[in-house]
A and B are shown apart, each in its own frame.
Chain A
Amino acid sequence: MTPTTTWYLVLAAILFGVGVVGLMIRRNPLVMFMCIELMLNAVNLSFVAFARAFTDISGQTAVFFVMVVAAAEVVVGLGIIIAILRRRPGANIDDLAELKG
């Protein structure tokens, strides 16, 4: 019995759900970023599973681009977090409502 594409997709779905729950219940902006990384990795896993299922390398190319964009996103996001927390130490995500319309 070998794992099939369906198994990988189910694992990716569970991982995505865990990331969603973490994003919504945590208040530390850094941990919320980590949960976003969890969701991105779930999507990467399903991309690679599809690439193998259809023997098409495009899925892996997409994962490559997702990794680049994730790296850029983390750099900018952490820059914003540093800029905010330097002025207001210990702020959690509920305190950061300055951009609220």
Chain B
Amino acid sequence: MELLVFVLASAMVLAGAIGVVTYRNPVHAALGLVLTLFGIAVHFVSMEAHFLAAVQVIVYAGAIVVLFLFVIMLLGVDRAEDLSVEPFQIQRPLAVIVGVSISGLIIAAVVRGRSTLGEQLESTVPGDDNIRELARSLYSDNVFAFELTSVLLIVAVVGTVVLTRRQRGGASK
């Protein structure tokens, strides 16, 4: 059963990721991103990170992808990009080589270091304790980082408003 969930969710993740890279229309790429994010959320549930799965769906699929789609519609860049025109002939094969190399290196490192991981997985934390444990870690050990994220979000919001504000009156850009 777990194997079936893993295989199906992995298929979702990889199909969505390849869709993001290959779809020519940015709207379709954003929908591929949704598929990938839902697959990741399924993996989170099967690894008993229930809170993170909920946050993944709400924040990523709910907020970030909607933001992407909103910007696509706002700018009207939802026409298809011509992927057959390649200004630098060498770039695409080089990119594939680099990507495959990075994946291969990480996989080789993981497979070599497999013995340190411990192959059997018994969860010592029951499912309901996930949120409690996460909150304890967040509000005790990492409380300063948690407060700093609020500063980060405020700075991001203010910065975006300043960046995208239209200049009125004299200074016309």
What is A's interface to B at a CB cutoff of 8 Å? 1-22, 24-28, 30-31, 33-35, 37-38, 41, 44-45, 48-49, 51-53, 55, 57-58, 60-61, 63-65, 67-76, 78-83, 85-87, 89-90, 92, 94
How many angstroms between the C-alpha atoms of A21 and B92 in the bound complex?
8
Find B26's partner among A8, A30, A89 (CB 8 Å cutoff). Answer: A30
Q: Which residues of B contact A94 (CB under 8 A)?
A: 87
Q: Does B96 contact A (CB under 8 A)?
A: yes
Tell me whether A30 and B33 are in contact in the complex, defined as CB-CB below 8 angstroms, given that A57-B134, A60-B134 are known contacts: no
Q: Which residues of B contact A14 (CB under 8 A)?
A: 14, 103, 107
Q: Is the interface of B mostly helix, strand, loop or mixed?
A: helix
What is B's interface to A at a CB cutoff of 8 Å? 2-3, 6, 10, 13-14, 17-18, 20-21, 26, 29-30, 33, 36-37, 40, 43-44, 46-49, 51-52, 55-56, 59-60, 63-64, 67-68, 71-72, 74-77, 81, 87, 91-92, 94-96, 98-100, 102-103, 106-107, 110-111, 114, 117-121, 123-125, 130, 133-134, 136-138, 141-142, 145, 149, 152-153, 155-157, 159-160, 163-164, 173
Q: Which residues of B contact A74 (CB under 8 A)?
A: 64, 67-68
Tell me whether A87 and B173 are in contact in the complex, defined as CB-CB below 8 angstroms, given that A34-B29, A57-B125 are known contacts: yes
How many angstroms between the C-alpha atoms of A11 and B64 in the bound complex?
23
How many angstroms between the C-alpha atoms of A62 and B153 in the bound complex?
17
Find B3's partner among A2, A21, A22 (CB 8 Å cutoff). Answer: A2
B21 touches A35 (CB 8 A): yes
B77 touches A72 (CB 8 A): no
A45 touches B121 (CB 8 A): no
Q: Which residues of A contact B87 (CB under 8 A)?
A: 94
B138 touches A25 (CB 8 A): no
Tell me whether A76 and B149 are in contact in the complex, defined as CB-CB below 8 angstroms, given that A31-B29, A34-B30, A38-B20 are known contacts: no
The distance from the CB of A42 to the nearest CB of chain B, in whole angstroms, is 9
Tell me whether A83 and B95 are in contact in the complex, defined as CB-CB below 8 angstroms, given that A18-B17, A67-B59 are known contacts: no
* Listed A/B pairs (12) with beta-carbon separation below 8 Å: A5-B118, A5-B121, A17-B99, A26-B21, A34-B29, A35-B20, A41-B36, A60-B49, A68-B149, A68-B152, A68-B153, A76-B160
How many angstroms between the C-alpha atoms of A89 and B67 in the bound complex?
19
Find B47's partner among A35, A48, A86 (CB 8 Å cutoff). Answer: A48
